[in-house]
Amino acid sequence: MKIVILGNGISGITAARHIRKRSDDDITVISDETDLFFSRTALMYIYMGHMRFRDTQPYEPWFWEKNRIGLLRARIERIDFQQKTLFTAQGEGIAYDKLLLATGSRSNKFGWPGQDLEGVHGLYHYQDMEAMERHSAGLERAIVVGGGLIGVEMAEMFHSRGIAVTFLVREPDFWNIVLPPEESAMVSRHLREHHVDLRLGTERKEILPDAFGKKCGGGNQYRRNDCLRVCRPHRRRQPEYRFFEKHHP
């Protein structure tokens, strides 16, 4: 049996490992993000210079061949469920007997004007970190939207480069849906003590382009050479584990 797993994040790789433990089926993991599985939570440490990308890979390169888990770097544009075939961006067809969608999530946006401008990014994929690196050169101020764990991590990332940070949080206190009031206040106080411009109870209205239609700012209270990072809660593209199998009558 040929099993194809779409997505090489923690869900897809965990599935591949457990399928291998229980069977000798042919396993192929497809991803257009990176060649090898890496620890997504370590992206901030790459940006901050604490780790190299290869340091974030939990398995040695020989692990995949030894365990007979095939890896394919490709972008899947279409799935024909009747013919049980995946089609890459180059038009190549990949047949399967069972398909597992483990495509993870993406940063949530809310239809703000200008949300798709260059310089407006989330932080989930390796390419998001690359974009963050690319836009950090010469950056005076970053605006982080979203008061959760990823948002506060991004504030720390920019702060480590000496980039001023404005941190917009919709709630009246930082992460108050999880933290008790005392701890929420402590985190808010810590951010301000480290010169993060924390704006509680603040919503993003719009994102304005610069003269070249690329970089971004927002409304009239931020400079237009600001870089916006969207850190609202992620939404899943597909259920983390979902098998597709053709059933014969």
What CATH number corresponds to the domain at position 198?
3.50.50.60
27-to-60, 66, 72, 96, 98 alpha-carbon distances in Å: 18, 13, 11, 10, 10
Counting Cα atoms < 13 Å in the Cβ hemisphere of 3 gives 23
Query: Which domain, by its residues, includes 101?
Result: 2-105+236-244
Within a 10 A sphere around the Cβ of 160, how many other Cβ atoms? 14
From the number of C-beta atoms within 10 Å of its C-beta (0-12, 13-18, 19+), residue 83 rates as: exposed
212 pLDDT tier (thresholds 50, 70, 90) = low
Q: Residues with Cβ < 8 Å from 248, sequence gap 6 or more?
A: none
Q: What's the one-letter identity of residue 82?
A: Q
The number of folded domains in the chain is: 2
Q: Which residue in 163, 155, 118 sits closest to 139, CA to CA?
A: 163
Q: What is the mean pLDDT of residues 147-152?
A: 89
Residues 79, 35 share a domain: yes
Within a 10 A sphere around the Cβ of 144, how many other Cβ atoms? 27
pLDDT for residue 247 is more than 50:
no
Residues 138, 98 share a domain: no
pLDDT for residue 68 is more than 60:
yes
